C-alpha cells in the first residue's frame, strides 16, 4: 500500500427505530463495545488523516461517545449520498482516498478496508471501489453489474430485469472514493426517485458517465451484516464470538466447549490458557500464560497472572489482580483486591478492597467487611497468614505475616505477625438437653 492519505467517513445518522430503544442504535454493544466503536476501531488501523462521523439531529450521546472524532450533522436526513455530503467541509481540498462505512455494519475488518484501498490504488486507478458480497439469498439487495473486471453500475433489486436479478454479487454499501473526484461526484447525485433522496449508489453511474472507472472488492456475507433490530444484533454477536473463539484457539488457547465461552472486544489471553465451559469475560480482562479457568466463571476488569487457577463458579470483579499460581475457587468473589503469589481462597469467600500476601490461605466462608455504609476500607492480609473458616475481617484492619485467625472469628483490630487471634464465645453444653427439648415439644404436639 502506498503512503497516500486516507479519510474515513462513518455514516451513523440512522434513528434505529426497529431497535425500540432509548439508546441510539449505533451505541448498542457487541462484545461489550458499541457498534460504532467497532467500526472506528477497525478503521483506525488505516491511520487515517481525518475521521468524521455523520450523525442526525439530536444525537448528542453518539457525538460524545465517538469523540475525539469529528462530527457532522445531517439535517434533514435525505439519503446516504446526502449523508456523505454532510462531511463536505471536512473533505474540502482532500485529495487522498475517502473510505465510506456504515456504523451499523460492525463486523467489517481492517483487512477488508486495506483490500479496498489496495484496489483503489491499483495501476488502473478506479475512482470508486465498492464492497460486494454474495448472499445465500440476494433478495432485495442491489446487484453489482461487472464486466471485464470493471463495475458498470449498481442496480436496485426492484429495478433489475431478469438477467440482473440472477446476479449473485450484491452491494454491501461500503465504498472507497478517490478524494480528487469525491465532492464533484457526490454533488452530482440527484434525488429524482420515489423517495426524493440522494442515493450514494448513484455515484457509480455518474463516475462512468464522466469516463471514470469503478471496481469491486468482495467480502464474506457475515462481515457486511447490517444491524437494524435486536434479532440482528444477536446474530452479529454470535458471528463476532465465533470469530474470536477461532482466533484464540489459533493463538494457543484451549476452549473445552467453545460455543459456551463469551469474550469482550478487549479480552487478552496468553498461551496455554485453558478455559472450561460457560465462562464469560466482561470488559477489561487480561489473562497471562498457563492460567486455568474452570467452568461457570464470570471475569470482568481483572488481571490474572501466569499459572493461576480460577473457579469453578468464581467471580472476578473490576480491580481483581490475581498473582502467579494463586487459586481462586468455587463461589469465591474478588473485587478490587490484590491476591499474592500462591495465595489461596478455595471456597465460599468474599474478598473486597484487600491486599492478600503471598502464600496466604483464606478459609471457606471468610469475608472482608469493607463497607460501612458510606466508605470502602482496606483489609491487609500478610504473607503466609491463615484465615480460618467463617471469619469476618472488619476493615480497616491488618493481619500480619504468618498470623493465624481462628475459625468463626470477627476481627476488628490489627493482628500482629505470627500471632493467633480468636474471638469466640465459650462453648456451653447442657447434658441431656437435646433429649429434654424433644420430649417437651412432643408433649405439646400431643396436647
Which residues belong to the active site?
347
| Cα separation, 56 vs 104, whole angstroms | 14
Q: Which residues of 330-369 are buried (b: 16+ CB within 10 A; e: fewer)?
A: bbbbbbbbbbbbbbbbbebbbbbbbbbbbbbbbbbbbbbb
CA distance 340 to 126: 60
Cα→Cα distances 354→241, 339, 346, 363, Å: 34, 8, 16, 15
In contact, 242 and 224? CB cutoff 8 Å: no
Give 262's Cβ-side CA count (13 Å radius). 16
Of 133, 106, 88, the closest CA to residue 30 belongs to 106
Pairing mode, if any, of strands 392-394 and 367-369?
parallel
The residue written with cell numbers 461457570 in the block is 296
Bridge partners, residue 309, by sequence: 292, 327
What distance in Å separates the CA atoms of residue 96 and residue 180, rounded to the nearest whole number? Answer: 7
- Cα Rg of the chain, angstroms: 31
CA 218/CA 116 separation, integer angstroms: 9
Through-space distance between the first and last CA atoms of the chain, rounded to whole angstroms: 95
Amino acid at each position: 500500500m502506498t503512503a497516500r492519505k486516507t479519510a474515513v467517513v462513518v455514516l451513523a445518522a440512522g434513528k434505529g427505530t426497529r431497535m425500540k430503544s432509548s439508546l441510539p442504535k449505533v451505541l448498542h454493544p457487541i462484545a461489550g463495545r458499541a457498534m460504532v466503536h467497532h467500526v472506528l476501531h477497525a478503521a483506525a488501523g488505516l491511520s487515517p488523516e481525518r475521521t468524521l462521523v455523520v450523525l442526525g439531529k439530536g444525537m448528542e450521546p453518539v457525538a460524545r461517545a465517538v469523540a475525539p472524532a469529528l462530527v457532522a450533522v445531517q439535517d434533514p436526513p435525505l439519503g446516504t449520498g446526502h449523508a456523505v455530503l454532510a462531511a463536505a467541509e471536512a473533505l474540502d481540498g482532500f485529495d487522498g482516498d475517502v473510505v465510506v462505512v456504515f456504523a451499523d455494519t460492525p463486523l467489517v475488518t481492517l483487512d477488508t478496508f486495506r483490500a479496498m484501498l489496495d484496489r483503489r490504488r491499483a495501476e488502473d486507478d478506479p475512482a470508486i471501489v465498492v464492497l460486494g458480497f454474495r448472499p445465500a439469498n440476494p433478495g432485495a439487495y442491489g446487484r453489482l453489474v461487472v464486466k471485464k473486471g470493471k463495475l458498470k453500475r449498481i442496480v436496485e433489486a426492484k429495478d433489475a430485469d431478469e438477467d440482473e436479478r440472477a446476479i449473485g454479487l450484491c452491494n454491501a454499501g461500503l465504498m472507497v472514493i478517490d478524494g480528487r473526484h469525491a465532492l464533484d461526484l457526490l454533488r452530482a447525485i440527484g434525488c429524482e426517485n420515489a423517495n426524493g433522496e440522494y442515493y450514494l449508489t448513484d455515484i457509480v453511474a455518474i463516475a462512468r458517465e464522466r469516463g471514470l472507472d469503478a471496481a469491486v472488492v468482495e467480502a464474506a456475507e457475515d462481515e457486511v451484516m447490517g444491524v437494524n433490530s435486536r434479532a440482528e444484533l444477536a446474530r452479529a454477536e454470535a458471528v463476532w464470538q465465533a470469530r474470536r473463539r477461532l482466533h484464540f484457539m489459533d493463538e494457543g488457547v484451549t476452549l473445552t466447549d467453545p460455543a459456551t465461552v463469551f469474550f469482550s472486544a478487549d479480552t487478552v489471553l496468553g498461551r496455554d490458557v485453558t478455559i472450561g465451559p460457560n465462562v464469560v469475560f466482561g470488559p477489561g480482562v487480561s489473562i497471562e500464560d498457563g492460567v486455568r479457568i474452570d467452568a461457570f466463571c464470570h471475569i470482568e476488569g481483572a488481571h490474572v497472572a501466569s499459572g493461576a487457577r480460577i473457579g469453578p463458579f468464581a467471580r472476578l470483579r473490576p480491580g481483581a489482580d490475581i498473582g502467579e499460581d494463586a487459586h481462586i475457587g468455587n463461589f469465591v468473589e474478588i473485587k478490587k483486591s490484590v491476591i499474592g503469589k500462591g495465595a489461596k481462597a478455595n471456597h465460599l469467600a468474599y474478598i473486597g478492597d484487600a491486599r492478600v500476601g503471598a502464600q496466604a490461605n483464606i478459609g471457606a466462608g471468610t469475608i472482608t467487611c469493607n463497607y460501612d455504609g458510606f466508605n470502602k476500607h482496606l483489609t491487609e492480609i500478610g504473607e503466609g497468614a491463615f484465615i480460618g473458616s467463617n471469619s469476618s475481617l472488619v476493615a480497616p484492619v491488618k493481619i500480619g505475616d504468618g498470623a493465624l485467625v481462628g475459625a468463626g472469628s470477627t476481627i476488628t483490630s490489627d493482628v500482629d505477625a505470627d500471632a493467633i487471634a480468636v474471638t469466640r464465645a465459650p462453648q456451653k453444653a447442657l447434658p441431656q438437653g437435646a433429649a429434654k427439648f424433644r420430649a417437651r415439644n412432643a408433649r405439646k404436639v400431643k396436647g
